A = this chain, B = another copy of it.
Amino acid sequence: MSETPHHHGYIHAKDDYLKRLRRIEGQARGLQRMVEEEQYCIDILTQVSAMTKALQSVALGLLDEHMNHCVVDAARAGGHEADAKLKEASDAIARLVRS
């Protein structure tokens, strides 16, 4: 954790994100059942691809909100803080692109 977990208040569509993450949790449970029952491998892989896409979409949405709030605020404040926030956002983007 790079900050203490106080409320950052930047997530506008919080309920929407929670709903999508609960669905992703359900997909993870579904995958366990499929592996448990040794269902057909290609069907399992199709589920993994769908789950990966759902996760990516959550990540891109959160990154969007982050840039619209934290990064914009930091850019306006300027100085070292702005540079640090931009570097942090760039690193997060690079991790997403490479994962």
If over half of A's interface residues share one DSSP class (helix, strand or loop), that class is named, otherwise mixed; here it is helix
Q: A36 to B38: give the CA distance in the assembly, Å.
A: 35
- Quick check: A56 and B99 within 8 Å, CB to CB? yes
Residues of B near A62 (CB, < 8 A) are 35, 41, 44-45, 48
List 11 other contacts, CB 8 Å, given A5-B39, A45-B92, A49-B99: A1-B43, A14-B36, A18-B35, A24-B31, A41-B62, A42-B66, A45-B95, A48-B62, A59-B97, A75-B76, A76-B76
Chain B positions within 8 Å of A24 at CB level? 28, 31
Residue from the list B37, B56, B68, B82 in contact with A72, Cβ < 8 A: B82
